[in-house]
Structure 1
Amino acid sequence: MKKINYILFLLLICNIAYCQKPKLENLPKYDIQKLHFGFTIGFNNMDFVVKPIKDMKTLDSVYIVEAIPVKGFDLGIIANLRLREHWDLRFVPNLAFGQRNMEYSIKEQDTVLSKYVKSIESTYINFPITFKYKSARVNNFRAYLLAGGRFSIDLMSQADKKDQEEEFVKIKKQNVALDAGVGFDFYLYYFKFSIELKMSYGLNDMLKRDNTIFTQSVDKLSSKIFYLSFNFE
Protein backbone atom coordinates (compact mmCIF):
# COMPACT_ATOMS: atom_id res chain seq x y z
CA MET A 1 0.00 0.00 0.00
CA LYS A 2 2.83 2.42 0.83
CA LYS A 3 4.44 1.78 -2.56
CA ILE A 4 1.13 2.54 -4.29
CA ASN A 5 0.88 5.80 -2.34
CA TYR A 6 4.39 6.76 -3.48
CA ILE A 7 3.44 6.14 -7.11
CA LEU A 8 0.17 8.08 -6.85
CA PHE A 9 1.99 11.01 -5.25
CA LEU A 10 4.58 11.08 -8.02
CA LEU A 11 1.91 10.81 -10.73
CA LEU A 12 0.19 13.82 -9.18
CA ILE A 13 3.46 15.76 -9.40
CA CYS A 14 3.76 14.74 -13.05
CA ASN A 15 0.25 15.91 -13.82
CA ILE A 16 0.94 19.29 -12.24
CA ALA A 17 4.18 19.61 -14.17
CA TYR A 18 2.54 18.81 -17.51
CA CYS A 19 -0.18 21.38 -16.90
CA GLN A 20 2.30 24.19 -16.45
CA LYS A 21 2.19 27.09 -18.87
CA PRO A 22 5.26 27.61 -21.08
CA LYS A 23 7.96 29.45 -19.17
CA LEU A 24 11.68 30.09 -19.17
CA GLU A 25 13.62 26.84 -19.00
CA ASN A 26 16.31 26.27 -16.41
CA LEU A 27 19.56 24.72 -17.66
CA PRO A 28 18.56 24.96 -21.36
CA LYS A 29 21.78 23.29 -22.60
CA TYR A 30 21.90 20.60 -19.93
CA ASP A 31 20.77 17.70 -22.13
CA ILE A 32 23.37 18.45 -24.81
CA GLN A 33 26.19 17.32 -22.51
CA LYS A 34 27.80 14.06 -23.63
CA LEU A 35 28.77 13.09 -20.09
CA HIS A 36 27.73 14.39 -16.69
CA PHE A 37 28.00 13.28 -13.06
CA GLY A 38 26.05 13.52 -9.82
CA PHE A 39 25.21 11.72 -6.61
CA THR A 40 22.25 9.82 -5.23
CA ILE A 41 20.78 9.12 -1.79
CA GLY A 42 17.72 7.10 -0.98
CA PHE A 43 15.88 4.38 0.86
CA ASN A 44 15.46 0.69 0.17
CA ASN A 45 13.19 -2.11 1.25
CA MET A 46 15.17 -5.37 1.14
CA ASP A 47 13.20 -8.57 0.74
CA PHE A 48 13.56 -12.18 -0.42
CA VAL A 49 11.54 -14.31 -2.79
CA VAL A 50 11.31 -17.60 -0.89
CA LYS A 51 10.64 -20.84 -2.75
CA PRO A 52 10.08 -23.59 -0.16
CA ILE A 53 10.83 -27.21 -0.96
CA LYS A 54 7.94 -28.97 -2.70
CA ASP A 55 7.01 -31.24 0.18
CA MET A 56 7.48 -29.61 3.56
CA LYS A 57 6.03 -32.76 5.18
CA THR A 58 9.32 -34.54 4.59
CA LEU A 59 10.79 -32.35 7.34
CA ASP A 60 9.99 -33.24 10.92
CA SER A 61 9.83 -29.72 12.29
CA VAL A 62 9.66 -26.80 9.80
CA TYR A 63 6.14 -25.94 8.66
CA ILE A 64 6.28 -22.37 7.32
CA VAL A 65 9.11 -20.19 5.99
CA GLU A 66 8.55 -16.49 5.34
CA ALA A 67 10.72 -13.48 4.50
CA ILE A 68 10.12 -10.19 6.32
CA PRO A 69 11.45 -7.05 4.56
CA VAL A 70 13.26 -4.32 6.49
CA LYS A 71 13.92 -0.74 5.41
CA GLY A 72 17.44 0.57 4.80
CA PHE A 73 19.25 3.33 2.97
CA ASP A 74 21.77 3.76 0.18
CA LEU A 75 24.08 6.36 -1.36
CA GLY A 76 26.23 6.50 -4.46
CA ILE A 77 27.59 8.43 -7.42
CA ILE A 78 26.13 8.86 -10.91
CA ALA A 79 27.85 8.76 -14.29
CA ASN A 80 25.49 9.48 -17.21
CA LEU A 81 26.44 9.05 -20.88
CA ARG A 82 24.18 10.59 -23.54
CA LEU A 83 23.58 8.12 -26.38
CA ARG A 84 20.84 9.82 -28.38
CA GLU A 85 18.21 12.48 -27.85
CA HIS A 86 16.00 10.25 -25.71
CA TRP A 87 18.51 7.60 -24.62
CA ASP A 88 21.17 7.61 -21.89
CA LEU A 89 23.44 4.95 -20.41
CA ARG A 90 23.94 5.21 -16.65
CA PHE A 91 26.45 3.71 -14.23
CA VAL A 92 25.52 4.30 -10.59
CA PRO A 93 27.88 2.49 -8.18
CA ASN A 94 26.49 2.69 -4.66
CA LEU A 95 26.50 1.34 -1.13
CA ALA A 96 23.22 -0.10 0.17
CA PHE A 97 22.69 -0.85 3.86
CA GLY A 98 19.80 -3.05 4.91
CA GLN A 99 18.46 -6.14 6.59
CA ARG A 100 16.06 -9.00 5.92
CA ASN A 101 14.48 -11.38 8.40
CA MET A 102 13.59 -15.02 7.83
CA GLU A 103 10.74 -16.28 10.00
CA TYR A 104 10.41 -20.03 10.58
CA SER A 105 7.40 -21.72 12.15
CA ILE A 106 8.81 -24.85 13.78
CA LYS A 107 6.88 -27.66 15.42
CA GLU A 108 8.21 -28.66 18.82
CA GLN A 109 7.05 -31.47 21.09
CA ASP A 110 4.60 -32.66 18.39
CA THR A 111 2.01 -29.96 19.11
CA VAL A 112 3.57 -26.56 19.80
CA LEU A 113 4.45 -24.20 16.94
CA SER A 114 7.29 -21.82 17.78
CA LYS A 115 8.52 -18.95 15.64
CA TYR A 116 12.22 -18.36 15.06
CA VAL A 117 13.45 -15.19 13.36
CA LYS A 118 16.86 -15.17 11.71
CA SER A 119 18.16 -11.70 10.84
CA ILE A 120 20.35 -11.25 7.78
CA GLU A 121 22.18 -7.92 7.64
CA SER A 122 23.71 -6.79 4.36
CA THR A 123 25.97 -4.04 3.11
CA TYR A 124 26.02 -4.21 -0.67
CA ILE A 125 28.43 -2.65 -3.10
CA ASN A 126 26.21 -2.39 -6.18
CA PHE A 127 27.40 -1.93 -9.75
CA PRO A 128 24.24 -1.21 -11.76
CA ILE A 129 24.25 -0.35 -15.46
CA THR A 130 20.93 0.89 -16.82
CA PHE A 131 19.45 2.34 -19.98
CA LYS A 132 17.38 5.47 -19.49
CA TYR A 133 14.61 6.34 -21.96
CA LYS A 134 13.50 9.96 -21.57
CA SER A 135 10.26 11.62 -22.62
CA ALA A 136 10.21 15.01 -24.31
CA ARG A 137 11.03 17.83 -21.94
CA VAL A 138 8.08 19.98 -20.87
CA ASN A 139 9.29 23.26 -19.40
CA ASN A 140 11.44 22.10 -16.47
CA PHE A 141 10.09 18.56 -16.24
CA ARG A 142 10.77 15.23 -17.89
CA ALA A 143 9.69 11.62 -17.13
CA TYR A 144 11.77 8.55 -17.90
CA LEU A 145 11.97 4.75 -17.76
CA LEU A 146 14.89 2.62 -16.57
CA ALA A 147 15.93 -0.94 -17.43
CA GLY A 148 19.17 -2.80 -16.83
CA GLY A 149 21.04 -5.06 -14.46
CA ARG A 150 23.43 -5.05 -11.54
CA PHE A 151 26.21 -7.05 -9.97
CA SER A 152 26.38 -6.87 -6.17
CA ILE A 153 28.86 -7.88 -3.48
CA ASP A 154 27.65 -8.29 0.11
CA LEU A 155 30.40 -7.13 2.45
CA MET A 156 28.60 -8.62 5.46
CA SER A 157 28.03 -12.07 3.99
CA GLN A 158 28.81 -14.85 6.47
CA ALA A 159 28.89 -17.55 3.79
CA ASP A 160 32.58 -18.29 4.38
CA LYS A 161 32.44 -18.32 8.18
CA LYS A 162 32.55 -21.66 9.96
CA ASP A 163 32.33 -23.11 13.46
CA GLN A 164 29.82 -20.57 14.75
CA GLU A 165 27.97 -21.39 17.95
CA GLU A 166 24.75 -19.79 16.72
CA GLU A 167 23.07 -21.10 13.58
CA PHE A 168 22.88 -18.30 11.02
CA VAL A 169 21.05 -18.20 7.71
CA LYS A 170 23.95 -17.49 5.40
CA ILE A 171 23.66 -15.90 1.98
CA LYS A 172 26.23 -15.87 -0.78
CA LYS A 173 28.52 -12.91 -1.21
CA GLN A 174 27.72 -12.21 -4.88
CA ASN A 175 24.39 -11.55 -6.58
CA VAL A 176 23.15 -10.71 -10.07
CA ALA A 177 19.83 -8.92 -10.58
CA LEU A 178 17.62 -7.25 -13.18
CA ASP A 179 16.40 -3.69 -12.55
CA ALA A 180 13.37 -1.76 -13.81
CA GLY A 181 11.95 1.58 -12.76
CA VAL A 182 10.51 4.98 -13.49
CA GLY A 183 11.73 8.45 -12.66
CA PHE A 184 11.01 12.15 -12.94
CA ASP A 185 13.51 14.91 -13.72
CA PHE A 186 13.06 18.44 -12.40
CA TYR A 187 15.37 21.07 -13.88
CA LEU A 188 16.22 23.56 -11.16
CA TYR A 189 18.22 26.75 -11.45
CA TYR A 190 21.63 25.24 -10.61
CA PHE A 191 21.16 21.48 -11.01
CA LYS A 192 18.76 18.72 -12.02
CA PHE A 193 16.85 16.93 -9.27
CA SER A 194 15.28 13.50 -9.89
CA ILE A 195 13.02 11.08 -8.06
CA GLU A 196 13.28 7.39 -8.95
CA LEU A 197 11.31 4.27 -8.10
CA LYS A 198 13.06 0.99 -8.93
CA MET A 199 12.60 -2.73 -8.39
CA SER A 200 15.53 -5.15 -8.44
CA TYR A 201 14.93 -8.89 -8.85
CA GLY A 202 17.75 -11.35 -8.19
CA LEU A 203 18.44 -14.14 -10.67
CA ASN A 204 20.54 -16.57 -8.66
CA ASP A 205 19.94 -18.65 -5.54
CA MET A 206 21.53 -16.74 -2.67
CA LEU A 207 21.22 -19.37 0.05
CA LYS A 208 24.37 -21.00 1.40
CA ARG A 209 23.53 -24.63 2.20
CA ASP A 210 24.79 -25.85 5.57
CA ASN A 211 22.51 -28.82 6.35
CA THR A 212 20.48 -27.10 9.07
CA ILE A 213 16.69 -27.01 9.29
CA PHE A 214 16.86 -23.35 8.29
CA THR A 215 18.27 -24.16 4.85
CA GLN A 216 16.82 -27.62 4.22
CA SER A 217 13.31 -26.14 4.05
CA VAL A 218 14.16 -23.67 1.25
CA ASP A 219 14.53 -24.70 -2.39
CA LYS A 220 15.57 -21.26 -3.67
CA LEU A 221 16.15 -17.85 -2.08
CA SER A 222 16.46 -14.83 -4.37
CA SER A 223 16.59 -11.11 -3.67
CA LYS A 224 13.82 -8.58 -4.23
CA ILE A 225 14.64 -4.96 -3.38
CA PHE A 226 12.60 -1.77 -3.78
CA TYR A 227 14.49 1.52 -4.12
CA LEU A 228 13.31 5.10 -3.68
CA SER A 229 16.14 7.37 -4.82
CA PHE A 230 16.77 11.11 -4.90
CA ASN A 231 19.32 12.16 -7.52
CA PHE A 232 21.28 15.39 -7.79
CA GLU A 233 23.01 15.90 -11.15
Structure 2
Amino acid sequence: MRSILILISLMIGFQVASAQSVKEKISNDATGGQGQIDEKRYTWGYFLGLNSYDYKFDYNEVTDDIFVETSMGFNVGLIGDLKINNYINLRLEPGISFVTRTLNFEDPSFTMPGDFEREVTSTYINVPLLVKFSTKRLNNWKPFIVGGASWSRNLSSNEENPNDNSANQFRQVTNVFNYELGFGIDFYLYYFKFTPSIRGVFAINDELVRDVDPNSPYTGNISSMQSRGIFLNFTFQ
Protein backbone atom coordinates (compact mmCIF):
# COMPACT_ATOMS: atom_id res chain seq x y z
CA MET A 1 0.00 0.00 0.00
CA ARG A 2 2.87 2.38 0.80
CA SER A 3 4.38 1.69 -2.63
CA ILE A 4 1.07 2.52 -4.32
CA LEU A 5 0.77 5.81 -2.43
CA ILE A 6 4.33 6.75 -3.40
CA LEU A 7 3.61 5.98 -7.06
CA ILE A 8 0.40 8.03 -6.99
CA SER A 9 2.22 10.99 -5.40
CA LEU A 10 4.99 10.83 -7.99
CA MET A 11 2.46 10.67 -10.83
CA ILE A 12 0.51 13.65 -9.53
CA GLY A 13 3.71 15.70 -9.13
CA PHE A 14 4.89 14.68 -12.58
CA GLN A 15 1.54 15.64 -14.08
CA VAL A 16 1.57 19.10 -12.49
CA ALA A 17 5.13 19.77 -13.65
CA SER A 18 4.38 18.53 -17.17
CA ALA A 19 1.20 20.56 -17.46
CA GLN A 20 3.18 23.71 -16.68
CA SER A 21 6.03 22.99 -19.10
CA VAL A 22 4.48 21.15 -22.08
CA LYS A 23 2.86 23.18 -24.83
CA GLU A 24 -0.46 22.05 -26.25
CA LYS A 25 -0.12 19.84 -29.32
CA ILE A 26 -2.56 18.28 -31.76
CA SER A 27 -4.29 15.39 -29.98
CA ASN A 28 -4.58 12.03 -31.69
CA ASP A 29 -7.83 10.16 -31.12
CA ALA A 30 -6.29 6.66 -31.54
CA THR A 31 -9.19 5.52 -33.73
CA GLY A 32 -8.33 6.91 -37.14
CA GLY A 33 -10.78 9.78 -36.90
CA GLN A 34 -13.64 7.71 -35.45
CA GLY A 35 -13.85 9.49 -32.10
CA GLN A 36 -11.80 9.60 -28.90
CA ILE A 37 -10.99 6.12 -27.61
CA ASP A 38 -11.25 7.30 -23.99
CA GLU A 39 -14.87 8.31 -24.53
CA LYS A 40 -15.89 4.69 -25.13
CA ARG A 41 -17.24 2.71 -22.18
CA TYR A 42 -15.89 -0.61 -23.47
CA THR A 43 -12.65 -1.09 -25.39
CA TRP A 44 -10.74 -4.17 -26.52
CA GLY A 45 -7.20 -5.02 -27.46
CA TYR A 46 -4.35 -7.47 -27.15
CA PHE A 47 -0.86 -7.59 -25.71
CA LEU A 48 2.51 -9.16 -26.43
CA GLY A 49 5.38 -9.22 -24.00
CA LEU A 50 8.30 -10.79 -22.18
CA ASN A 51 8.56 -12.24 -18.70
CA SER A 52 11.20 -13.28 -16.18
CA TYR A 53 10.09 -15.61 -13.36
CA ASP A 54 11.83 -16.51 -10.11
CA TYR A 55 10.86 -18.41 -6.93
CA LYS A 56 10.76 -17.17 -3.35
CA PHE A 57 11.70 -19.98 -0.94
CA ASP A 58 11.10 -20.19 2.80
CA TYR A 59 12.88 -22.94 4.71
CA ASN A 60 12.13 -24.99 7.82
CA GLU A 61 15.79 -24.87 8.91
CA VAL A 62 18.70 -22.61 7.99
CA THR A 63 20.47 -24.11 4.98
CA ASP A 64 22.07 -23.24 1.67
CA ASP A 65 19.65 -21.36 -0.54
CA ILE A 66 18.28 -23.01 -3.66
CA PHE A 67 19.69 -21.02 -6.57
CA VAL A 68 17.24 -20.20 -9.36
CA GLU A 69 18.45 -19.52 -12.89
CA THR A 70 15.86 -17.49 -14.76
CA SER A 71 15.23 -17.37 -18.50
CA MET A 72 13.33 -14.91 -20.65
CA GLY A 73 9.77 -16.05 -21.41
CA PHE A 74 6.94 -14.89 -23.63
CA ASN A 75 3.42 -13.53 -22.95
CA VAL A 76 0.42 -13.08 -25.23
CA GLY A 77 -3.20 -12.28 -24.42
CA LEU A 78 -6.36 -10.23 -24.81
CA ILE A 79 -7.70 -7.13 -23.05
CA GLY A 80 -11.20 -6.10 -22.06
CA ASP A 81 -11.46 -2.60 -20.58
CA LEU A 82 -14.43 -1.04 -18.76
CA LYS A 83 -14.30 2.71 -18.18
CA ILE A 84 -15.47 3.67 -14.67
CA ASN A 85 -14.64 7.37 -15.02
CA ASN A 86 -11.93 9.51 -16.62
CA TYR A 87 -9.28 8.24 -14.22
CA ILE A 88 -10.28 4.66 -13.29
CA ASN A 89 -10.71 1.62 -15.54
CA LEU A 90 -11.51 -2.01 -14.73
CA ARG A 91 -9.55 -4.46 -16.89
CA LEU A 92 -9.65 -8.18 -17.59
CA GLU A 93 -6.47 -9.43 -19.25
CA PRO A 94 -6.56 -13.22 -19.92
CA GLY A 95 -3.33 -14.49 -21.41
CA ILE A 96 -0.79 -17.27 -21.59
CA SER A 97 2.81 -17.18 -20.38
CA PHE A 98 5.65 -19.54 -21.21
CA VAL A 99 8.22 -19.78 -18.41
CA THR A 100 11.45 -21.72 -17.79
CA ARG A 101 13.38 -21.81 -14.51
CA THR A 102 16.34 -23.98 -13.49
CA LEU A 103 16.76 -24.92 -9.82
CA ASN A 104 20.21 -25.74 -8.44
CA PHE A 105 20.37 -27.75 -5.20
CA GLU A 106 23.24 -28.42 -2.80
CA ASP A 107 23.25 -31.66 -0.79
CA PRO A 108 26.07 -33.99 0.35
CA SER A 109 24.08 -37.05 -0.72
CA PHE A 110 24.16 -36.05 -4.41
CA THR A 111 26.61 -38.10 -6.45
CA MET A 112 25.44 -37.78 -10.07
CA PRO A 113 25.70 -34.49 -12.01
CA GLY A 114 21.98 -34.57 -12.86
CA ASP A 115 21.03 -34.71 -9.16
CA PHE A 116 22.00 -31.09 -8.56
CA GLU A 117 19.67 -29.54 -11.13
CA ARG A 118 15.97 -29.48 -12.04
CA GLU A 119 14.65 -27.62 -15.06
CA VAL A 120 11.10 -26.41 -14.38
CA THR A 121 9.07 -25.51 -17.47
CA SER A 122 5.70 -23.88 -16.86
CA THR A 123 2.88 -22.80 -19.13
CA TYR A 124 0.52 -20.50 -17.25
CA ILE A 125 -2.97 -19.50 -18.30
CA ASN A 126 -3.24 -16.24 -16.39
CA VAL A 127 -6.52 -14.39 -15.72
CA PRO A 128 -6.00 -11.06 -13.90
CA LEU A 129 -8.72 -8.64 -12.84
CA LEU A 130 -7.07 -5.23 -12.51
CA VAL A 131 -7.89 -1.65 -11.60
CA LYS A 132 -6.09 1.00 -13.63
CA PHE A 133 -5.57 4.47 -12.11
CA SER A 134 -4.60 7.10 -14.69
CA THR A 135 -3.56 10.73 -14.56
CA LYS A 136 -5.07 13.41 -16.75
CA ARG A 137 -4.08 13.02 -20.40
CA LEU A 138 -1.03 15.09 -21.37
CA ASN A 139 -1.27 15.79 -25.09
CA ASN A 140 -0.87 12.30 -26.60
CA TRP A 141 0.25 10.31 -23.58
CA LYS A 142 -1.04 9.40 -20.13
CA PRO A 143 0.81 7.65 -17.24
CA PHE A 144 -0.97 5.15 -15.00
CA ILE A 145 -0.52 2.58 -12.26
CA VAL A 146 -2.38 -0.72 -12.15
CA GLY A 147 -3.03 -3.36 -9.51
CA GLY A 148 -5.25 -6.30 -8.75
CA ALA A 149 -5.50 -10.06 -8.31
CA SER A 150 -5.11 -12.96 -10.70
CA TRP A 151 -5.61 -16.70 -10.99
CA SER A 152 -3.12 -18.82 -12.92
CA ARG A 153 -3.44 -22.41 -14.08
CA ASN A 154 -0.11 -24.15 -14.59
CA LEU A 155 -0.61 -26.59 -17.46
CA SER A 156 2.85 -28.10 -16.83
CA SER A 157 2.54 -28.52 -13.07
CA ASN A 158 2.92 -32.35 -12.84
CA GLU A 159 0.72 -32.16 -9.72
CA GLU A 160 -1.00 -35.49 -10.47
CA ASN A 161 2.19 -37.24 -11.56
CA PRO A 162 2.89 -40.18 -9.19
CA ASN A 163 6.64 -39.80 -9.78
CA ASP A 164 8.60 -37.25 -7.78
CA ASN A 165 12.21 -36.07 -7.64
CA SER A 166 13.41 -39.63 -7.04
CA ALA A 167 12.40 -40.13 -10.68
CA ASN A 168 13.63 -36.65 -11.77
CA GLN A 169 10.13 -35.12 -11.66
CA PHE A 170 9.77 -31.75 -9.94
CA ARG A 171 6.10 -31.11 -9.14
CA GLN A 172 4.04 -27.95 -8.53
CA VAL A 173 0.39 -27.25 -7.80
CA THR A 174 -1.86 -26.52 -10.76
CA ASN A 175 -3.77 -23.49 -9.41
CA VAL A 176 -1.90 -20.38 -8.31
CA PHE A 177 -3.36 -17.16 -6.88
CA ASN A 178 -1.43 -13.90 -7.25
CA TYR A 179 -1.49 -10.18 -6.68
CA GLU A 180 -0.15 -7.83 -9.36
CA LEU A 181 1.23 -4.27 -9.31
CA GLY A 182 2.60 -2.22 -12.19
CA PHE A 183 2.85 1.04 -14.09
CA GLY A 184 2.95 2.21 -17.69
CA ILE A 185 2.18 4.97 -20.19
CA ASP A 186 -0.62 5.15 -22.77
CA PHE A 187 0.54 6.67 -26.07
CA TYR A 188 -2.24 7.91 -28.35
CA LEU A 189 -1.43 7.28 -32.00
CA TYR A 190 -3.66 8.09 -34.94
CA TYR A 191 -5.14 4.61 -35.40
CA PHE A 192 -4.68 2.96 -32.01
CA LYS A 193 -3.44 3.38 -28.44
CA PHE A 194 -0.03 1.83 -27.73
CA THR A 195 0.92 1.05 -24.13
CA PRO A 196 4.23 -0.24 -22.77
CA SER A 197 3.99 -1.35 -19.14
CA ILE A 198 5.96 -3.14 -16.44
CA ARG A 199 4.19 -5.33 -13.90
CA GLY A 200 5.17 -7.52 -10.98
CA VAL A 201 3.29 -10.78 -10.35
CA PHE A 202 3.54 -12.35 -6.87
CA ALA A 203 2.08 -15.73 -5.90
CA ILE A 204 0.13 -15.94 -2.65
CA ASN A 205 -0.18 -19.71 -2.09
CA ASP A 206 2.50 -22.37 -1.69
CA GLU A 207 3.15 -23.97 -5.11
CA LEU A 208 5.33 -26.91 -4.10
CA VAL A 209 4.12 -30.53 -4.29
CA ARG A 210 6.42 -32.37 -1.92
CA ASP A 211 8.15 -35.68 -2.51
CA VAL A 212 6.90 -38.89 -0.88
CA ASP A 213 10.04 -39.03 1.24
CA PRO A 214 9.60 -36.41 4.02
CA ASN A 215 13.40 -36.09 4.20
CA SER A 216 13.81 -35.50 0.48
CA PRO A 217 16.86 -33.27 -0.24
CA TYR A 218 14.72 -31.46 -2.83
CA THR A 219 11.56 -30.64 -0.89
CA GLY A 220 11.99 -31.78 2.73
CA ASN A 221 13.32 -28.47 4.07
CA ILE A 222 11.07 -26.13 2.06
CA SER A 223 8.19 -24.61 4.02
CA SER A 224 6.87 -22.62 1.03
CA MET A 225 7.70 -21.92 -2.61
CA GLN A 226 6.07 -18.99 -4.40
CA SER A 227 6.56 -17.58 -7.89
CA ARG A 228 7.62 -14.01 -8.52
CA GLY A 229 7.55 -12.62 -12.03
CA ILE A 230 8.18 -9.42 -13.95
CA PHE A 231 6.19 -8.71 -17.12
CA LEU A 232 7.16 -6.26 -19.84
CA ASN A 233 4.02 -5.97 -21.97
CA PHE A 234 3.18 -4.01 -25.10
CA THR A 235 -0.54 -3.38 -25.49
CA PHE A 236 -2.49 -2.38 -28.61
CA GLN A 237 -6.06 -1.02 -28.28
Provide TM-score, normalisation by structure 2: 0.83
Check the 8 A contact 1:50/1:67 in 2, yes or no: no
Q: What are the superposed Cα offsets for residues 20-60 of structure 1, whole Å, 9 maximum, x if unpaired?
A: 4311100062111000000000000011101122244xxxx
| Secondary structure of residue in 2 paired with 1:105 | coil
Work out which of the residue numbers 47, 54, 79 in structure 1 matches 2:61: 54
2:130 matched residue in structure 1: 130
**How do residues 97-136 of structure 1 correspond to structure 2 at under 5 angstroms?**
97-108=98-109, 116-136=116-136
| Secondary structure of residue in 2 paired with 1:207 | coil
| Secondary structure of residue in 2 paired with 1:216 | coil
| Secondary structure of residue in 2 paired with 1:31 | helix
Aligned residues: 211
The answer on 1:222 being equivalent to 2:223 is: no
Provide TM-score, normalisation by structure 1: 0.84
CA distance in 2, matches of 1:201, 1:217: 22
| Secondary structure of residue in 1 paired with 2:107 | strand
**How do residues 5-154 of structure 1 correspond to structure 2 at under 5 angstroms?**
18=18, 20-27=22-29, 29-56=36-63, 63-108=64-109, 116-154=116-154
RMSD: 2.4
Post-superposition offset of 1:68: 2.5
Distance change >3 Å, CA 114–CA 156, structure 1 → 2:
closer
Check the 8 A contact 1:50/1:66 in 2, yes or no: no
Post-superposition offset of 1:115: 7.3
CA distance in 1, matches of 2:114, 2:86: 58
Distance change >3 Å, CA 158–CA 115, structure 1 → 2:
closer
**How do residues 129-208 of structure 1 correspond to structure 2 at under 5 angstroms?**
129-163=129-163, 166-208=167-209
| Secondary structure of residue in 2 paired with 1:213 | coil
1:209 matched residue in structure 2: 210
CA distance in 2, matches of 1:97, 1:109: 30
Check the 8 A contact 1:42/1:228 in 2, yes or no: yes
Check the 8 A contact 2:61/2:221 in 1, yes or no: no
Post-superposition offset of 1:108: 4.2
Gaps of 5+ in 1: 1-10, 57-62
Check the 8 A contact 1:100/1:119 in 2, yes or no: yes
Post-superposition offset of 1:168: 2.0
Larger strand proportion of the pair: 1
Post-superposition offset of 1:77: 0.4
More displaced, 88-97 or 215-224?
215-224
Distance change >3 Å, CA 137–CA 205, structure 1 → 2:
same
| Secondary structure of residue in 2 paired with 1:220 | strand
More displaced, 115-124 or 94-103?
115-124
Runs of 4+ with >3 A deviation: none
CA distance in 2, matches of 1:109, 1:189: 60
State the AA in 2 paired with 1:216: G
Overall identity of the aligned pairs, in % = 25
State the AA in 2 paired with 1:123: T
